Structure 1
Amino acid sequence: MLRHLRTILIAFTLIFAGFVQPSLGDVPVAEGQPMLLPTDRAPLVVETAGGSVQFSIEVADTDMKRSAGLMFRTAMADDHGMLFVFDQTRRLSFWMKNTPMPLDLIFVGEDGRVVATLPGEPFSTASIGPEEPARFVLELKAGTAQKSGIADGDRIRHPLIDRVAGAD
């Protein structure tokens, strides 16, 4: 009996595996069209005076994800970051409690343009935020903004930002 049950279980698994294919969020793709990635896998591009710079990002778009942020992380690739997405434009401030890595905090307005870039010191509970309102915050390893030539007024492109800013 155990042998038959095992055979049935293996057959069911093989049949089921043949019908279930991994997907990228069931994004429909028209023939001849490029496949669109879900917004949490789409690259973020900063258009600087020196050219475009691309980052692989994680998206923090819920209260729980925004609260966790990059806390407790000790390393991150140079081309990686986290994009914090807020429901409305307002004065934003962050702190670095429980965050051992120094960071660049790039505040972005609803128009997709950099409002300010501020340093985040490890484990600091000091409030970090510009006077100007922002809708998004991009966190990168400390020094990445300067090395990449990111400056106030640069345009940041990502599907989540472009939806708010509109394409230009």
Structure 2
Amino acid sequence: MRTVLTTFAASAMMTLLAFSAVASAQLRFDKEPLTIVTASGARHEFSVELALDPGQREQGLMYRKQMAANEGMLFDFFEARAIQMWMRNTLIPLDMVFIDAKGTITHIHERAEPLSETIISSQGPVNYVLELNGGAAAQLGIHKGDKVWSKQIGNRP
């Protein structure tokens, strides 16, 4: 019995150390302003972190315990393609906003479940994915067809 408990304790400690190492090795992300303009003309301003390289896109918002209401993360894939996302190691619910090369929202997956490994599809080719706090799209009236403006997308007015 003692061997089992010692093995369990050692395993738990290793898991905790691995989580701490990953969480402390967070990559840094540049930030920029981003605006969503709805069909009704409402403008919603955000400050978004940019996930531009494979490492940043892989890490995304993993291990974050919170995100301010006016913040998000913009993933740039640098070409139009079908994108598959998931919520592995992501602790907060997210809305995933899929965006084409011109900045038009093509699909929104609302309230992605934290820690889920279920694949979330862009449902067609997109260049960008914007992650916002879960429920933000519904709360702000953001829908398919609305416009996203940012320097990274290249359409900032």
TM tier relative to shorter chain: 0.7 to 0.9
SS at structure 2 position matched to 1:129 = strand
Instruction: Kindly provide the CA deviation profile for residues 66-122 of structure 1, in whole angstroms up to 9, marking residues without a partner as x.
Output: 000000111000110000001210000100010010100000011110011103110
Q: Deviations over 1:117-146 (max 9, x none)?
A: 103110000100132211000000000111
SS of equivalent residue, structure 1 residue 67: helix
Under a length normalisation based on structure 2, what TM-score does the superposition of the two structures give?
0.76
Measure the CA separation in 2 of the matches of 1:167 and 1:65.
23
1:83 paired with 2:78, answer no
Residue 115 of structure 1 corresponds to 106
- TM-superposed CA distance for 1:167, in Å, is 6.7
Note the residue ranges of structure 2 that are not aligned, 5 or more in a row.
Answer: 1-29
Matched, 1:132 2:129: no
SS of the residue 1:99 aligns to: coil
1:149 correspondence with 2:141: yes
SS of aligned partner of 1:134: strand
RMSD (Å) for aligned C-alpha atoms: 1.4
| Cα shift at 1:42 | 2.7
- Kindly provide the amino acid, as one letter, of the partner of residue 161 in structure 1: I
Give unmatched runs, 5+ long, in structure 1. 1-39
Q: 1:67 aligned to 2:75? A: no
Question: May I ask how many residue pairs the two structures share in their alignment?
Answer: 126
- 2:46 is aligned to 55
Structure (1 or 2) with the greater strand fraction = 2
Task: Compute the displacement of 1:160 (Å).
Answer: 1.1
Of 125-134 and 82-91, more deviation after overlay is shown by: 125-134
- Given the superposition, is the C-alpha separation of residues 65 and 167 from structure 1 closer, same or farther in structure 2, using an over 3 Å criterion? closer
Q: Secondary structure at the match of 1:74?
A: coil
1:86-101 paired onto structure 2 within 5 Å: 86-101=77-92
**Quick one: distance in 2 between partners of 1:154 and 1:51?**
10
| Percent pairwise identity | 37
Residues 29-56 of structure 1: CA distance to partner in whole angstroms, max 9, x if unpaired?
A: xxxxxxxxxxx44310001124110001
TM-score by length of 1: 0.71
SS of the residue aligned with 1:133? Answer: strand
Where does structure 1 differ by over 3 angstroms across 4 or more consecutive aligned residues? none
Q: Which has the larger radius of gyration?
A: 1
CA distance in 1, matches of 2:131, 2:156: 23
